[in-house]
């Protein structure tokens, strides 16, 4: 007969197992018990601990705004907020390399790295982490410095890249937005490891906004500031782009009656379908954050319609609460 373990004894055993000899730890347990969720940490550098607060919540995408000043890349929302110790390298590149080295150890029992390197999440090693870099300064001047500072991740084999034929996903996928120059990003046709944040609203099935009209008539925002007017919308594909993004408020409009209208839903579906047909992942930014029920409602709509990532400011609400249950109380 198989003995039945009493729950109280089992609980005590699990809580104290291995403590004297360190048996509770293993080489890749830095992120143990953290489940990745499809959330993007907007303005991640404002978190209590940049990068790690988002990873601890399970976010699979983080955002860093970069300013090129005196040949250094500083992380800040505005130029006036730049601080000498807050750089792209110190807040993101170096910590990611250290974490990924922990996730890809070379112990005595396994004297070579796995052929497919593990990502940051121990519970899902194949999950890539998107590092969205928002260029705040001139893209032509900033890009070479970004590419150079990514060298430790590149040298470790941790970056996703385009090899001239296929997109090869790695532990970290770098996406450039803001003033990122599309033409310079795509100059090398045989290798790329920095991808573009394509304009989602231009991909709308049916009647997309003409490229020339949009580029001339809209103010600068993520993913649309350095697109040459001669580029056709079908140019954007997995060889050069990863996200397709747009401001929810500017493209879909604010739900003034606290409800998505049929016309707004049609635009959401057309944009998501258009981006997915081109192999890109959909991200809306600037979604309503208040009141809470409206925020949950919009998140539920986007998730239901196939948006690939939720752009969030409140990590706890997005990753630590059952907002889907709350949204079910809101009308659709």
Higher pLDDT, 322 or 272: 272
What kind and span of H or E run contains 197?
Answer: strand 194-199
pLDDT at 331 over 90: no
pLDDT (tens digit per residue) in 229-239: 556 778 999 99
Cα–Cα distance, 142 to 177 (Å, whole number): 12
Query: For position 218, what pLDDT does the model report?
Result: 42
| Mean pLDDT computed over 9-28 | 55
SS3 for 162?
strand
Query: For position 234, what pLDDT does the model report?
Result: 81
Query: For position 4, what pLDDT does the model report?
Result: 46
Query: For position 180, what pLDDT does the model report?
Result: 97
Q: Pick the closest to residue 152 from 196, 201, 98, 112 (CA basis).
A: 98
Where are the domains positioned within the chain?
Answer: 31-104+113-327
pLDDT at 29 over 60: yes
Of 24-28, 108-112, 113-117, 165-169, give the range with the top mean pLDDT: 165-169
| Mean pLDDT computed over 206-225 | 47
What's the mean pLDDT when you consider all of the chain?
Answer: 85
Query: For position 107, what pLDDT does the model report?
Result: 67
Q: Pick the closest to residue 202 from 249, 235, 173 (CA basis).
A: 235
| Mean pLDDT computed over 289-296 | 87
What is the CATH topology of the domain spanning 31-104+113-327? TIM Barrel (3.20.20)
pLDDT at 156 over 90: yes
pTM of the model: 0.86
């Amino acid at each position: 007969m198989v003995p039945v373990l009493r729950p109280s004894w089992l609980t005590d055993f699990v809580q104290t197992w291995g403590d004297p000899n360190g048996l509770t730890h293993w080489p890749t347990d830095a992120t143990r018990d953290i489940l990745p969720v499809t959330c993007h940490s907007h303005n991640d550098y404002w978190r209590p601990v940049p990068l790690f607060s988002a990873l601890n919540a399970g976010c699979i995408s983080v955002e860093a705004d970069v300013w090129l000043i005196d040949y250094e890349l500083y992380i800040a929302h505005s130029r006036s907020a730049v601080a000498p110790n807050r750089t792209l390298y110190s807040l993101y590149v170096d910590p990611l390399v250290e974490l990924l080295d922990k996730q890809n150890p070379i112990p005595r029992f396994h004297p070579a790295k796995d052929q497919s390197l593990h990502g940051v999440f121990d519970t899902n090693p194949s999950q890539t982490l998107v590092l969205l870099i928002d260029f705040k300064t001139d893209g032509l001047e900033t890009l070479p410095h970004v590419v150079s500072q990514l060298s430790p991740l590149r040298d470790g084999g941790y970056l996703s890249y385009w090899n001239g034929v296929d997109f090869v996903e790695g532990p970290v996928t770098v996406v450039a937005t803001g003033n990122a120059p599309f033409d310079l990003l795509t100059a090398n046709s045989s290798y790329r490891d920095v991808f573009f944040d394509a304009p989602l609203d231009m991909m709308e099935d049916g009647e997309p906004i003409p490229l020339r009209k949009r580029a001339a008539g809209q103010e600068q925002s993520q993913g649309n500031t350095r697109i040459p007017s001669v580029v056709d919308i079908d140019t954007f594909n997995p060889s050069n782009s990863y996200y397709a993004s747009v401001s929810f408020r500017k493209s879909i409009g604010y739900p003034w009656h606290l409800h998505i209208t049929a016309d707004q839903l049609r635009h959401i579906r057309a944009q998501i379908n258009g981006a997915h047909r081109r192999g890109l992942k959909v991200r809306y930014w600037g979604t309503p954050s208040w009141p809470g029920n409206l925020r949950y409602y919009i998140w539920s709509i986007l998730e239901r319609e196939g948006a690939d990532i939720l752009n969030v400011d409140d990590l706890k609400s997005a990753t630590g609460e059952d907002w889907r249950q709350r949204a079910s109380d809101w009308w659709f």
